[in-house]
Amino acid sequence: MSQPPLPSCFLSIFFIILASYFLVINALVCRPDQIQALMQFKNEFESNGCNRSDYLNGVSCDNATGAVTKLQLPSGCFTGILRPNSSLFGLNHLRYLNLSYNNFASSSLPSEFSNLNRLEVLSLSFNGFIGQVPSSISSLIHLTHLNISHNEFTGSFPLVRNLTKLSFLDLSFNKFSGTIPSDLLLTMPFLSLLDLKKNSLTGTIQVPNSPSSSRLVFLSLGQNQFEAQILKPISKLINLNHLDVSSLNTTYPIDLNIFTSLKSLLVLHVSRNKLLPASLNASDITFHLESLVMRGCDITEFPNILKTLQNLRNLDLSRNRIEGKVPEWLWKLPRLSQVNLAYNSMTGLEGSSSEILVNSSVQLLDLAYNSMTGSFPIPPPNIIYLSAWNNSFTGNIPLQVCNRTSLVVFDLSYNKFTGPVPRCLSNLPIVNLRKNGLEGSIPDEFYRGALTQTLDLGFNRLTGKLPRSLLNCSSLRFLSVDNNIIEDTFPFWLKALPNLQVFTLRSNRFFGQLSPPDQVPLAFPELRILELSDNRFEGSLSPSYFVNWKASLFKVDEEGRIYMGDYKHAYFGYEDTLDLQYKGLFMEQGKVLTSYSTIDFSGNKLEGQIPESIGLLKALIALNLSNNAFTGHIPLSLANVTELESLDLSRNQLSGTIPKELGRLSFLSYVSVAHNQLNGEIPQGPQFSGQAESSFEGNAGLCGLPLPRSCSAPPTQQPKEEGEEKEEGVLNWKAVVIGYGPGLLLGLLIAHIIYSYKPK
């Protein structure tokens, strides 16, 4: 017999008692009314991703009074609008409040924050707040730490003059405009960090009469509208160790000599400014810099000033116009560990390729997108990140890479390397050798416990079969061997890999059935992108083919999307890429988005009906089955694929009508059913009427817009030109990429390969 439900009042009391007990066992003594206020605050928002224990773990109470003094929300815990009548503003004993990394989008900042007049730390970053900061914020006179960065705040500089105890003020990445209060540093004698980056601020700034009395050590003014005049007063802040003045609004070059008075300066960002050439080549400037970032400064020669920076650890000269070779003396700087020279016009490295880097201390080296030729140098002994994609290096890949046990990212794609693939791929988590001239077979030497996460060998001249030892790569997420000469059957055995998300075999000589031998549904645990176009696969797909695909479920991160290759390191991030063909266009080097699913089986010899189970793939946004021999009707179940944006069923033998229900797919922006045996009226609506006429041609029975044939007139058989019938027989078995695009990886962002390089 079922038990009667508990009264709601009893449940509420039980919940409060449970929460109280939880807080007590964590050595916290909170009054019941404070606990109730906390629970009310939680209930004001959607908090599906908020674990109750994590929420309460961020709470501290005063041992004597039982009042809540600290509240720190877990990241991504709350979603909703922070209202003026929120129970939060009743917790007026709070001294520490951190609401960062939540989603209060469309919320303005309530003036009721002034109720929390005991606050010492207030952090509201990454929340989506909008509008102006209320003047009442100036009443929080006990604040030592104020962080409202990465929001959408507008208007003038917030009223913070009264906050004389502030030591940390971060207003970066907002939309503040106007001037900085000229006496800001005079009224805040304890200020040590001031971050105003990425706003629209103008004007200048005053410094104390005795600059040495200023405690400011971190100043970031980059990406505003400040003019160069602001540099003179800044040069008096002699205690600065971090300075960012990138993207100043100036028409004349900046002389680096202006910073020589900053004897404590360790980090200098001057990106996207014009720099005085003479100061770049001076030999008498004394700096103790550890990090120098001069990205996008229109530099044409390698700066000789670097010779004097014996403490330099991080150097970023990317996105300039530097020509010639990288000087050999650079690698002799004793502490150099991070070098980014990407996106220049450099032609190579001075010195012998077998010696120039072998004694270097460099751990992160990015030479991508230059014009470097010749043999590739032997990598430094402690290298972690090595990228030289999009150059013209030739010869074999140096075998010494196999001895670099610290190497995580190894990207030599888009070069002219020849010879075999190194046999030590198991040792390297991320390998990209795409678009070279490598030959031979893929080494079948992946040992158990292999570190491989990404393996991209596409667009080479590789032969043989897929190595069966790939089964040992339990961490493998991204596997691309497209555009080679590999001859093998479909690797059903790869379904044993628990993390495989992207898999492309396009344009090889794979053959045989795509349905498993036992006719069970195809099951890859985490597969999102499957690209098999332009091979020799044949046979039919069972009706339940897609039943066990977990790609039918949405998987998103805190930002609402998941990118492949989200390998995180203290210094860098890496994102996998693919060449993509989408909506009839061919593009290269697209960043892979895997929060959605894409399937491309085009250009094979598949027959039979399209499985109705395709309708189970709720995350599918791109489907390409063109250039096969599918028969029967277009599955009505496609109407359930509500995220679908691109659909190509052209050049098959499909019959019947186009389901009207497809007109309800609000995201569908590309459709091609050309050259089938369809009939009836084309569904009307923006999804279909906006398509080109070529998307429906070759179907004698179709009528209605965008075709010129009205459905009121009887359809006529289109005469075939001489030789067309024979040509169609060939096209049914070969990939037709021009105009249709078999690689419907819509989930990829249309961009060049982005290798995110972030100083620690």
- Structure tokens, 498: 């628990």
Residue 296 tokens read as 């996008």
DSSP assignments along 138-180, one per residue: GG-TT-SEEE--SSEEEES----TT-TT-SEEE--SSEEEEEP
Confidence band of 185 (pLDDT split at 50, 70, 90): confident
For residue 274, being part of any structural domain is answered with no
Alpha carbons 356 and 383: distance in angstroms, whole number: 14
pLDDT at 527: 86
Q: List the Cα angle 586/590/591 in 5-degree steps.
A: 160
| 459 Cα distance to chain centroid | 24
* Start-to-end C-alpha separation, the chain: 62
Contact of 606 with 538, CB cutoff 8 Å: yes
Integer Cα distance of 546 and 1 in angstroms: 42
Same domain? 472 vs 520: no
According to DSSP H, which parts of 683-723 are helical? 686-689
**Total tally of structural domains belonging to the chain:** 2
Q: Which pLDDT score is estimated for 280?
A: 92
User: Is residue 296 situated within a structural domain?
Assistant: no
Please list the alpha-helical segments (H only) found in 506-585.
none
The pLDDT assigned to 247 comes to 93
Residue 18 belongs to what H/E stretch?
Answer: helix 8-25
Mean pLDDT in the chain? 84
CA atoms within 13 A on the CB side of 144: 4
| Residue 230 within any structural domain of the chain | no
Whether 464 and 586 map to the same domain: the answer is no
Per-residue pLDDT at 574 exceeds 80: no
More confident residue, 28 or 666: 666
CA angle at 51 for the pair 47 and 52, rounded to the nearest 5°: 95
For the cut 80, the answer to whether the pLDDT of residue 756 exceeds it is no
- Is residue 684 in some structural domain? yes
Same domain, 376 and 469: yes
The neighbour count for residue 748, using CB atoms within 10 Å, is 28
pLDDT at 711: 86
- ∠ CA 167-170-173, nearest 5°, is 170
Identify whether residues 494 and 419 lie together within a single domain: no
Is 748 within the bounds of a domain?
no
Lowest mean pLDDT among 210-214, 252-256, 267-271, 496-500: 210-214
Task: Report the pLDDT value the prediction gives residue 573, as an integer from 0 to 100.
Answer: 53
Most confident of 48-62, 136-150, 208-222, 696-710: 136-150
Specify whether the CB–CB gap between 392 and 412 falls below 8 A. Answer: no
Same domain for 518 and 468: no
CA 135, 139, 145: angle at the middle one, nearest 5?
Answer: 100
Which is nearest to 588 in space by CA: 577, 600, 573?
577
Q: What is the pLDDT of residue 596?
A: 65
pLDDT at residue 568 greater than cutoff 80: no
Q: How far apart are CA 252 and CA 228, in angstroms?
A: 8
443 and 493 share one domain: no
What is the gyration radius of the CA atoms in the chain, in angstroms? 31
Structure tokens of 211?
A: 């600059």
DSSP-based three-state secondary structure for 98: strand
Residues 463 and 554 in one domain: no
Q: Of 675, 677, 679, whose CA–CA distance to 731 is shortest?
A: 675
pLDDT on residue 373:
97
Q: For residues 278 and 304, is the Cβ–Cβ distance under 8 A?
A: no
What pLDDT score was predicted for residue 638? 94
* In a shared domain, residues 606 and 702: yes
Domain that holds residue 401: 342-476
Total residue count of the chain as it appears in this document: 760
Q: How far apart are CA 655 and CA 632, in angstroms?
A: 6
Measured CA to CA, the distance from residue 182 to residue 191 in angstroms comes to: 15
- 326 versus 20: the higher-pLDDT residue is 326
Same domain, yes or no: 470 and 572: no
Q: Are 737 and 586 in contact (CB under 8 A)?
A: yes
Alpha carbon distance 112, 106 (integer Å): 17
Dist. CA 75–CA 55, nearest whole Å? 10
Contacts of 239 (CB under 8 A, 6+ apart): 212, 214, 215, 216, 217, 264
Which of 105-109, 583-587, 608-612 is predicted with the least confidence, judged by mean pLDDT?
A: 583-587
> Would you say 441 and 418 are in contact if contact means Cβ atoms under 8 Å apart?
no
- Determine the average pLDDT of the residues in 378-404: 96
* 590 and 521, same domain (yes or no): yes
pTM of the predicted structure, to 2 decimals: 0.83
Q: Is it the case that residue 595 has pLDDT exceeding 60?
A: no
Residue 572 has pLDDT above 80, yes or no: no
Average pLDDT over residues 455-479: 96
Residue 294 clears pLDDT 80, i.e. is over it: yes
Query: Does residue 277 sit within a domain?
Result: no
* CB of 525 closer than 8 Å to CB of 504: no
Flag the least confident range among 122-136, 335-349, 580-594, 612-626: 580-594
Helix (H), strand (E) at residue 55: helix 52-57
CA distance 334 to 493: 49
Same domain, 494 and 466: no
Residues 560, 591: one domain? yes
Tally of CB atoms within 10 A around 12: 12
pLDDT of residue 579: 59
Compute the distance between CA of residue 659 and CA of residue 650 in angstroms, rounded to an integer. Answer: 15
Share of the chain above pLDDT 70, in %: 83
Inform me whether the pLDDT recorded for 739 exceeds 60: no
Which structure tokens are listed for 367? 């030479």
Q: Which residues are registered as beta bridge partners of 169?
A: 146, 194
Lowest model confidence (mean pLDDT) among 287-301, 636-650, 715-729: 715-729
Give pLDDT tens digits for 686-707.
Answer: 888 888 999 999 999 999 888 8
Q: Is 353 exposed, middle or buried (0-12, 13-18, 19+ CB in 10 A)?
A: middle
3-state SS assignment for residue 374: strand
Separation between Cα atoms, residue 218 and residue 224, nearest integer Å: 17
- Domain membership of residue 625 (yes or no) is yes
Do the domain assignments include residue 760?
no
Q: Tell me, what's the pLDDT at 157?
A: 94
Domain of 363, CATH number, reads: 3.80.10.10
Edge-first strand listing for the sheet containing 461-463: 373-375, 392-395, 416-419, 437-441, 461-463
Per the model's pLDDT, the better-predicted residue between 106 and 580 turns out to be 106
